[in-house]
Amino acid sequence: MAAAPVRFALWNVNWGHLLNLAASIIRLLLFSLAFFTIYIYIVDYPDNSQKDCYMKIERQLQLEPLLAMKSFFLFGPRATGKTTLIRQQLAQKATVIDLLDSRYFLRLSRAPYDLESIIAADPKEIVVIDEIQRSPDLFAVLRVLVDRPKLPARFLILGSASPGLLRQSAETLAGRIIYHQLNGFSFDEVGVDQHMRLWLRGRFPRSFLARSHAESEEWRRGFIQTFLERDLPQLGITISSATLRRFWTMLAHYHGQIWNASEFGRSFGVADTTVRNYLDLLSSTLVVRQLLPWHENISKRQVKAPKVYLADTGILHTLLNLRTLKDLEGHPKIGASWESFVLEQVIRRLGARNEECYFWATHAGAELDLLVVRGRRRLAFEVKRTSVPQITKSMRIALSDLKLSHLDIIHAGDQTFPLSRQVRGVSFSRLLDDLKPLP
C-alpha cells in the first residue's frame, strides 16, 4: 500500500515569526558591518588621511644632472628607494651590479678586479654598483677605473651607510667622487594633506605606502629586526643584535634630549666610551641623527654635547610601541617626536647639509631648536606644536646672543604671520610656500 504524500500547508506557517527572524538577522548583519567599518577606521587608519596605497610619489631627486663627475656616491638608510630611483630614471642607460645578487657578490669577493670584465660584457653609459657596503674592497678597483681616461662609463655607487663608515671611499676616491644622501619621502613629495600620515608612519616608502596602519607597523618591526640581525653584521659590526636593540630602544625614550654619556652608561651598565661607540655606530648607519651644538664667543656657559634624535619618526613610534595616533597623542614624547619631524622637513626644504645644522643652548636654560649656518648667513628656527605661537624669553636671548636678524617659529596653525620685527610665525602647512631653499 503506497504511502500518502506529505503536503505542506503554507497557511499553517507563522509568517509573523519568520518576518521577525529575518529582520533580526538583517539587523545583526548591519550591526556587524558597521562595527567592522568603525574598527577599521579607528584602529587601522588612525591618521584619517588615506589615499590609494598605490599612489604614485614623484621623487624630487633627479640623478642625471648630478652625474657631472665620473663617480657619484648616493647613500642613505636601507629601503629609502635608492634602487627604485635608479630603475625609474636610468633603466636604459645603466649596467646594474647588485651585490645582493649572490652571483655578483661571490665573484667580486673572490676577485674584485673582475669588475672590469663585468662592465666590458655589458657596456653602458653608466655603471651602477648597488649595496657597495657588502664589498668595500671594490673602492680600490674603482679608483683605477675612474682614472682610466679611455673608459667612457660614469660610476654611480649606492650604499646603506655613511661615507665615514665606509672609510675606503674617502681614502681611495678623494677628489674623484661626489656624495649625496637620499632619505625617504619628504613633505613636498607626499603633499600637504599627508603630513600626519608621514609623521606617524615615517619616511620609508614601504611604511608610508602600506595599505593599512597594521601593515605599516609590521613592516617597521621587520625593518628593525633585519637591520640589526643582517645589515649591521654585513658591515663587520660584531655587537650583538640584542644589545643594540636595547640601546636603540633606550635612545627612543631619550629622543630629542641632550646626550649624556655618563647617565646613559649607568643606565646601560657599561662604560661611557662604550655607549658613545654605540651612538656613533647608529649615526653612521643613518638611523640616528646627532644635531651638533653651536658655540658662540660669549661669556655664558654653553652646552657642548649633541642632541640625539632617531632619524625616522615611524621607527621611533615602533620602538616606543605607539601604534596609533591616539597612542602618540597620549605619550610624553609627542612633543619631541613632532619637533624632530618638523626639523627634518625644514632641513630638507632648505637643502642644508648635516654639517650646516646645529642647535644652541646655554646652561642657564636659553635654547634654539635649529640654527642653519651657510657662509655668513644664519637661519634660526623654533618648533612649537601650537596654533598660537608666542615669543619667549629664550628666543629673545638667542636673538641677542647669536646676533640673529630673524627667527622663524614653525607652528601647527594655518596661517603665517609676523610676531615682531624679527620674529615670524610660520605655519607648517605653508612651509613650501613661506620657506625658500638656500641658494
Q: Does residue 173 share a domain with residue 222? A: no
Q: Torsions phi, psi of 91, nearest 5? A: -55, -40
Are the C-beta atoms of residues 356 and 374 closer than 8 Å to each other?
Answer: yes
pTM of the prediction?
0.85
- Residue 3 has what pLDDT? 52
Q: Predicted confidence band at 40 (pLDDT cuts at 50, 70, 90)?
A: very low
Q: Which residue range forms the structural domain that includes residue 127? A: 64-181
User: Same structural domain for residues 164 and 242?
Assistant: no
Q: What is the CA radius of gyration of the chain?
A: 28
Span 247-289, pLDDT tens digits: 999 999 999 999 999 999 998 889 999 999 999 999 999 999 9
Helices (H) and strands (E) in the chain, counts: 19, 14
**Half-sphere exposure in the Cβ direction for 152 (13 Å, CA):** 8
Closest CA relative to residue 227, chosen from 85, 74, 77: 77
pLDDT for residue 4 is more than 80: no
pLDDT, tens digit, 9 for 90 and up, residues 351-383? 999 999 999 999 999 999 999 999 999 999 999
What is the arrangement of strands in the sheet containing 407-411, beginning at the earlier edge strand?
257-258, 307-310, 288-293, 357-361, 367-374, 377-383, 407-411, 423-427, 417-418
Q: Which of 379, 358, 378 is nearest to 302 (CA)?
A: 358
247 and 294 both lie in a single domain: yes
Task: Judge if 118 and 227 occupy the same domain.
Answer: no
Residues 80 and 224 in one domain: no
Q: Is 36 within a domain?
A: no
Contact 24, 17 (CB under 8 A): no
Q: What is the CATH number of the domain that holds 130?
A: 3.40.50.300
Extract the C-alpha cell encoding 229.
640581525
Domain boundary among 139, 157, 181: 181
Whether 34 is covered by a domain: the verdict is: no
Predicted pLDDT of residue 36: 52
Choose the final residue of a domain: 181, 211, 228. 181
Whether 48 is in a domain gets the answer no
> Among 295, 313, 118, which Cα is nearest to 202's?
313
- Verify that 247 and 113 share a domain, yes or no: no
Task: Identify the pLDDT of residue 182.
Answer: 92
- Residue 268 has a pLDDT of 86
- Identity of the amino acid at 155: F
Question: Average pLDDT of 287-300?
Answer: 95
Does residue 55 lie within any of the structural domains? no
- Find how far residue 221's CA is from the centre of its chain: 14
